Structure 1
Amino acid sequence: MRNVMSGRAGRVVQASSIGVVHLHNDEPTPVPFQLPPAPRCFVSRRDELAAMEGWPLLVISGPGGVGKTSLALRWLHDRRDRFPGGQLYVDLGAHAPDGPVAPEDVLEWFLHAFGLKDVPASLAARQAMFRSVTAGLAFAVLLDNAVSSAQVRPLLPASGTVVVTSRWRLSPLGTDGARFVEVEPLGLVDSVRLLENIVQDDRMGAEPDAAGELARLCGGLPVALAVVGARLSARPRRSLGRELSELRAERLPELDADASVASVLDLSYVDLPDPQARLYRLCAWLPGTSFGVEAAAAVAGEPVDEVGGALEDLVEKNLLSELADDRFRYHDMLRTHARSKADATREEGLRRAIEWYVAAAVSADLAAKPGHQRVGPRYQDTGPMAGEPLEWLELERPNLIAAVHSAHGHGWPELVWQLCEPLWALFLHRHYYSDWIETHVLAINAAHECGEPLAAARLGNRLAMAYVNLHRYDEAVAVLDAVLAAGLDDPVSETTALSMLGRVHLGRGEPEAALRCYRQVLEVRVQRGRERGAGMARRRIGEALIELGRCAEAIGELERAEAQLADPVERARVRTFLARACAGAGRLDRARSLLDSAIRDLRTSPFHRADAFVVLAGIAEDDEEARDHYRSALACYRDPADPSAVRIRRLLDRHEHSAAADVIPEQTTGEHHRDPG
């Protein structure tokens, strides 16, 4: 059979021969270009650049500060047109304060960068998905600061170019076809050339001996040469001889390379004005690997407008790197140096920074999900964020997660749970399951430690939702049982837990037990006069009744549910279930009419729209119509590995290879994209 595809789509994974596909997804697949900026000053390395040509796996090794990342960035930026599929970047954190990054976390980030939302939990499944997505793709990956070949190997894609940097050679990657490029410190001539490029005057030529001695003291390391060059550039009348004298005054002249580099950094540090020196010390303790001006202002306890100028000065002195507008990071050697400088206000500053992250995350959460009930105290005095709150949460996600762990490590449990609560919109919409589960486990324990059982219960329901979405039902039940056993006088927590238990029962094929849960939820919400909550409970009751084959009862519940709901998407969602019930009762014309209406109203909700197409396929008048509806349902998913997309693909395969069973099609797709309850 010839396969024909028309329309626009994201990544397409061939399932089998499927004939003609009509695509309805207008959302383009993102092309990630994540590389940090190319180095501003770069010299020599001609041999290393030549050695990198023609190899799909490159391992660049050498001592800290020698310029491994700069070499990789220079090579990748110069060849960007070779990688139309994108360029991924990750700092694997070999020397990060919090330790190396786990490969499964990196794979989750990469898959999300390609627009995939529902990422499986296990490392093996994530590897398989990453290789499927990257098969035949012309793209590049920079794995910076790797700690071992074991960390790198799971991150190798099916195609494309991978560049790894590490202080170690990572010889075992030779079995994966790696080309090893060893980077040595710059020679004397190239070191002086780099200083000339930074300083941009004729002092190097006027004082060649002093220039050579400065280069020697820097050990041929670009990170140290850049700091010295920045000092000289800021002092155009200073002679090289005087600079050399000050360096020697800091340390004895006969020092090893490491001590000489420390001397260079120390001299630049002691020369900083007090506000810059303090900022240099304190920002090194911020959670995460990069930070913005606001976080820097928080850790320093200074106004943003004053801190911005100081950060720019640190960039000019090459003590910080600027990743983007108002976005900064340390070279790992400079972070270590900054942390070595004592500051009595460090703990106070770090707590202030985490408190800022709490307030900012609360503001983003209020904008992303207005009208929802919250527990944290910061919601009382914080307004909604302007702009794009989900984009802010996505940008700051590594720092927010690191801040949760930092608060936990410093014994600040109130900040742990208060920071976890406003991350809900991020996890609900982007499905970072590893972070979702880790942060919520910490936050629930922290809430109990603080004597906040209500916060623990609300967070417990959210943790249970992650487990249910991953089909980890036993873990979900353990969490939900704890919520219900707490004996709180909080109908919201209790009914949400019961509703989630209903989802567990449906997932296990126990609709009678699910129905009992949903009826309890309905009773409480009716008593409390919660019109929308009652409507949602009736919708779930209708779903359970359909699974039990009691379609006439389901029709009545679902009609009442639609009448109680005001949101057009929620009403359309009810009509999809009502159509299933009508189909089960033999009222096919009404079912088709309901589905046509639902599909029109679900244009902004592609996962729920897919549900309606699946039901239409189940009541189609002929095989070709059924196949067309299944294809339309598949086209609603950008992520071919989404569990719901996989299930629809199996239905399509089954329909093409055998006669369709005369049953009402099950409907669980889209379920994991909504709030619990």
Structure 2
Amino acid sequence: MRRGGENVVSGTAQGPVVQAGSVGEVHFHSGTPQPLIPYQLPPPPRLFTSRHRELADLDHWLTAAEPLVAVVSGPGGVGKTSLALRWLHGSRTQFPDGQLYVDLGAHAPEGPAVPEEVLEWFLLALGVPGADVPPGLARRQALFRSLTADRALSLLLDNAVSAAQVRSLLPTSTRSAVLATSRWRLGGLAVDGARFVEVESFDVDSSLELLERAVGRRVASEPDAARELAHLCGGLPIALSVVGARLSTHPRRTLSGEVGSLRTERLAKLALDDDVSVEAVFDLSYVDLPARHARVYRLCALHPGHSFGVEAAAAAAGEPPGDVAPVLADLVEKNLLAEVADERFRFHDLLRLHARQHADRDSAAQRDAASRRVVEWYLDRLVGADLALRPTRHRVGPRYHGDVVASSGPRAALNWLEGERANLRESCRVAAEMGWDDLVWQFCEAMWGFYLHARHSDDWFALHALGVPAAVRLGDRVAEAKLRAQLTYSYSSLGYFADAEREGVRALEIAEEDGDRQGVAVALTELGGVAQGSGDLPRALRWLTRARDVRRGIGPRRAEALCGRRIGEVLAALGRDDEGLAELAAAAESMAAVGDHVGQARCLMSTGGLHLRRGRPARAVSHLESALDVVRRVGSPFYEAEIRASLGEAAEGVGDLPTARRHYALALALLPTGNPKAATISARLAALDR
């Protein structure tokens, strides 16, 4: 639009923008990708009431404090999170760059959340690719502060355990707001300029208001009973909400009858800091549940992670998902379960404890069976996702030779894996705690495809620290060799060549001692990669040639082609270009023939790289662009970064500096911080601007 004689474009544009200045003068502006804006808050509380003073304080502090850090503290179940959510939802327009949420797990059975992991979740939510998340707390803090320095962003840090835990997660933007909820006051945050909201139990009038919102006119028709209910609930919002839900689902139940039930129950076992107990309130809702509902309630509490979907709950119950879904909906209505997203649920921390206490009354065999069903469900879905990502890879796990089918496609598989990443890790941990070694090592093998595409190294090494000992305890040497070969690759890719050599040699020893030619070929291939990465090219060629000789006798064709690709790379590095190109072309043809499109793309990447090193950038581009098309369809950030870096070199080689800058910048955004390639690309970008 025209303002003051100037032709300007205002607002946010998605896609290309056409700007007409005058007749005969048309400019096309290619819109840059908009930063990802996360809105992660759970829904606002449905029965929120009162808290006028606290809300007014937060409103005032937001205008006075830069940035705002507020601690919302009080006993469990008093409504700290509800207050924070109500204010943050009402203030959403003040934070156009997004709202982040995390449960810091102060009372989680597995312990509080580690700031290093929380920062990883936040970075992913802000659009940082998984492969770009740096290792270590200090590096993740630095990247998080850089990303949020100029953003108007709010954070809800729920269930904090200490001031130090919160302090590690504070952004630096003066337009940000951080609300931390905790059962403790976290006075140590005063040195960070924090404001403090002490949330207390409701008085009688506020309690009656909440009950009236839940059950309507019955409060006015039985005023004395309503006041007695408010007293028996101790003004605790969670207790009032559960009682309200119970009454609303039983329209013929009188408030007096509810009072009588409460009076006869013990209110002591789940005591809070102010001696208020909610276990009896939870039990009153629990005992009215139909038997199936009560069973689902108990068994879902055995789920290994914080949140779960309908299918995982069905696995715990051992029932079809279609039968369990309405049960979960009823539990949500009764405030015994929270729906945190579409068909995704979680327990309040006290309710989860309550449900687990009731599960403890089942037999150990029943509890173990439910836990194993959930763990196996996650393992089967992981196997299906891995089959979608790497359909032609040789596997040794029995799950791959059963009834499990591949996921619908690579991109869908990657999306599911990212969404369930924490639950997969916890499932493996539970399997290890329960002594299910046969499942533990299979999680490690099935994580291979996800690791290659996302490079979550922390998860990878943590799982293998459980998986390798599990295979050893089982005496499953094939599995042990497989996992050690996987570690060889991952250590080598990070430049830890001594560790890689150690694992690869041990994998080779096991396979040779057992006469396992498949294992021998895998170990030789990975050892070839170690020698190649460390610069010992003659040794790499010997390892890889031996591996291919074995593969020619046992197959599969894809594995033989993989050896061929690496041999081609080594030959090219040795200056034997014609031989290298021939090997790469043959490997690409084989990969295409077996349907491994990512493998084919990697052959094209290597071919393009060879042309670049020999000063033929124009010839490199066609190979690299074909490879890029494949990996973008799959959704593989790490491989895309490698290709874009090479395309940047090619563009620079033909003098197309704007294109070079674009590819380098995109590669940097995809590569992990600290990766040696990132430093090289940064140097190239800097050189272009001189």
TM-score by length of 1: 0.85
**Equivalent residue for 1:450?**
474
**Equivalent residue for 2:368?**
347
Q: Distance in 2 between matches of 1:280 and 1:130?
A: 38
**Equivalent residue for 2:196?**
180
Q: Distance in 2 between matches of 1:546 and 1:297?
A: 54
1:195-222 CA-partner distances (Å, limit 9, x unpaired): 11111x2121222222122111112111
Task: Work out which of the residue numbers 429, 435, 441 in structure 2 matches 1:411.
Answer: 435
Q: Distance in 2 between matches of 1:603 and 1:252?
A: 63
Task: Work out which of the residue numbers 236, 239, 242 in structure 2 matches 1:227.
Answer: 242
SS state at 2:239 partner: helix
**Equivalent residue for 2:634?**
none
Taking the TM superposition and a 5 Å limit, the aligned residue runs for 1:188-337 are 188-199=204-215, 201-251=216-266, 258=275, 260-337=277-354
Task: Work out which of the residue numbers 126, 136, 140 in structure 2 matches 1:114.
Answer: 126
Change (3 A) 1:349 1:565: closer
Change (3 A) 1:407 1:530: closer
Q: Distance in 2 between matches of 1:565 and 1:238?
A: 69
Q: Distance in 1 between matches of 2:581 and 2:277?
A: 80
Q: Gaps (5+ residues) in structure 1?
A: 1-6, 10-21, 658-677
Tell whether 2:48 aligns with 1:42. yes
1:611-637 CA-partner distances (Å, limit 9, x unpaired): 43244257x25xx54574254233345
Q: Distance in 2 between matches of 1:457 and 1:8?
A: 50
Checking the alignment, whether the CA contact within 8 Å between 1:24 and 1:632 is kept in structure 2 is no
Checking the alignment, whether the CA contact within 8 Å between 1:295 and 1:353 is kept in structure 2 is yes
User: What letter matches 1:270 in structure 2?
Assistant: V
Checking the alignment, whether the CA contact within 8 Å between 1:609 and 1:633 is kept in structure 2 is no
Task: Work out which of the residue numbers 87, 109, 118 in structure 2 matches 1:97.
Answer: 109
Checking the alignment, whether the CA contact within 8 Å between 1:551 and 1:584 is kept in structure 2 is no
**Equivalent residue for 2:184?**
168
Checking the alignment, whether the CA contact within 8 Å between 2:604 and 2:627 is kept in structure 1 is no
**Equivalent residue for 1:16?**
none
How far 1:649 sits from its partner (Å)? 1.4
Checking the alignment, whether the CA contact within 8 Å between 2:641 and 2:670 is kept in structure 1 is no
Tell whether 2:125 aligns with 1:125. no
Q: Gaps (5+ residues) in structure 2?
A: 1-12, 16-27, 632-639
Q: Distance in 2 between matches of 1:602 and 1:306?
A: 44
**Equivalent residue for 2:686?**
653
Q: Distance in 1 between matches of 2:646 and 2:69?
A: 45
Q: Distance in 2 between matches of 1:475 and 1:569?
A: 27
Tell me which moved more, 625-634 or 53-62. Answer: 625-634
**Equivalent residue for 2:637?**
none
User: What letter matches 2:644 in structure 1?
Assistant: A
1:284-339 CA-partner distances (Å, limit 9, x unpaired): 12111112222222222233333222222211111111122321111101111222
Q: Distance in 2 between matches of 1:135 and 1:534?
A: 50
**Equivalent residue for 2:646?**
612
How far 1:346 sits from its partner (Å)? 1.8
How far 1:560 sits from its partner (Å)? 4.7
Task: Work out which of the residue numbers 503, 506, 531 in structure 2 matches 1:482.
Answer: 506
**Equivalent residue for 1:75?**
87
Task: Work out which of the residue numbers 376, 387, 394 in structure 2 matches 1:373.
Answer: 394
Change (3 A) 1:501 1:109: farther
Tell whether 2:380 aligns with 1:363. no
Checking the alignment, whether the CA contact within 8 Å between 1:146 and 1:152 is kept in structure 2 is yes
Tell whether 2:407 aligns with 1:385. yes
How far 1:598 sits from its partner (Å)? 3.0
How far 1:593 sits from its partner (Å)? 2.2
Checking the alignment, whether the CA contact within 8 Å between 2:648 and 2:659 is kept in structure 1 is no
Tell me which moved more, 67-76 or 107-116. Answer: 107-116
Change (3 A) 1:656 1:526: farther
Checking the alignment, whether the CA contact within 8 Å between 2:605 and 2:623 is kept in structure 1 is no
Tell whether 2:408 aligns with 1:402. no
Q: Distance in 2 between matches of 1:8 and 1:431?
A: 30
Q: Distance in 1 between matches of 2:415 and 2:609?
A: 37
Checking the alignment, whether the CA contact within 8 Å between 2:504 and 2:523 is kept in structure 1 is yes
Q: Distance in 2 between matches of 1:572 and 1:350?
A: 41
User: What letter matches 1:37 in structure 2?
Assistant: P
Q: Distance in 1 between matches of 2:390 and 2:30?
A: 27
Q: Distance in 2 between matches of 1:252 and 1:549?
A: 80
1:633-673 CA-partner distances (Å, limit 9, x unpaired): 3334543754334431122324555xxxxxxxxxxxxxxxx
Q: Distance in 1 between matches of 2:218 and 2:435?
A: 53
Change (3 A) 1:424 1:250: same
Checking the alignment, whether the CA contact within 8 Å between 2:612 and 2:650 is kept in structure 1 is no
1:166-204 CA-partner distances (Å, limit 9, x unpaired): 1111122222222221111111111111111111x2121
**Equivalent residue for 1:639?**
670
Task: Work out which of the residue numbers 60, 71, 74 in structure 2 matches 1:59.
Answer: 71
SS state at 1:385 partner: coil
Aligned length: 631
Q: Distance in 1 between matches of 2:627 and 2:389?
A: 22
**Equivalent residue for 2:624?**
598
Q: Distance in 2 between matches of 1:584 and 1:317?
A: 66
Q: Distance in 1 between matches of 2:97 and 2:267?
A: 52
Change (3 A) 1:634 1:538: farther
Task: Work out which of the residue numbers 501, 505, 509 in structure 1 matches 2:527.
Answer: 501
User: What letter matches 1:508 in structure 2?
Assistant: S
1:211-240 CA-partner distances (Å, limit 9, x unpaired): 122111112111111110011111222221
Change (3 A) 1:347 1:534: closer
Q: Distance in 2 between matches of 1:415 and 1:24?
A: 50
How far 1:63 sits from its partner (Å)? 0.7
SS state at 2:264 partner: helix
